[in-house]
Amino acid sequence: MDDPQLPGRELESAVRTLLEEIGEDPDRDGLMRTPGRVRRMYDELTSGYRTDAQALINGACFEVDYDEMVVVRDIEFFSLCEHHLLPFYGRMHVGYLPRGRVIGLSKIPRVVDMYARRLQVQERMTQQVAAFLMEQLNPKGVGCVAEASHLCTMMRGVRKEQARMVTSAMLGRFRQDEKTRTEFLTLIGHS
């Protein structure tokens, strides 16, 4: 039997109440374990709040004599809209101009996940990824573009299934220099 004092019991109780409020029986066969599954799901989908950024990077910043643009494109992400708690999902493209310091390739998608696994709005998430890389690497500039589909727009409200949101954050040379910004946008397929 589950201990009612364990963390997350309040969430499970709230899910039971939600099921009752929509007219369901939380004790029926298919729903009996749903409150626990929902608690575990939210633990996973909001793990970004509990991610230690320095442990995530784990010393994977390296001094390298390289000053050309570095781009990681098509980084898949899944997040939860803070307004409706419905998913939004898509891809983020990240580029930076090193100033003698680069970050390990696998770290950029992990940074995206750290911010995506929080209650979010896409605009903030895009800015957070760019600002984090700017702070950690001190590059000449950072560019991030996120493209996503939002279930809150697709399933309810205006119900526009094909609508996609595109957000960008351009810092340093990506903001100041049109040529740098154009190179980045071309490399990610947005000429």
- For the stretch 165-174, pLDDT in tens is 999 999 999 9
Q: Is the pTM of this model over 0.85?
A: yes
Is 19 within 8 Å of 31 (Cβ atoms)?
yes
Query: d(Cα 88, Cα 97) in Å, to the nearest integer?
Result: 29
Tokens encoding 180: 């740098």
Looking at the predicted structure, is the pLDDT value of residue 141 above 70?
A: yes
pLDDT band at residue 9 using 50, 70 and 90 as cut-offs? confident
In order of their start, the domains of the chain are: 9-45 (1.10.286.10), 56-187 (3.30.1130.10)
Catalytic site positions: 81-84, 122, 150, 152
Is 74 within 8 Å of 116 (Cβ atoms)?
no
From the CB of residue 119, how many other CB atoms can be counted at a distance below 10 Å?
A: 15
Query: d(Cα 189, Cα 89) in Å, to the nearest integer?
Result: 19
Looking at the predicted structure, is the pLDDT value of residue 143 above 50?
A: yes
Q: Which residue has the tokens 């004599």?
A: 65
pLDDT of residue 1: 42
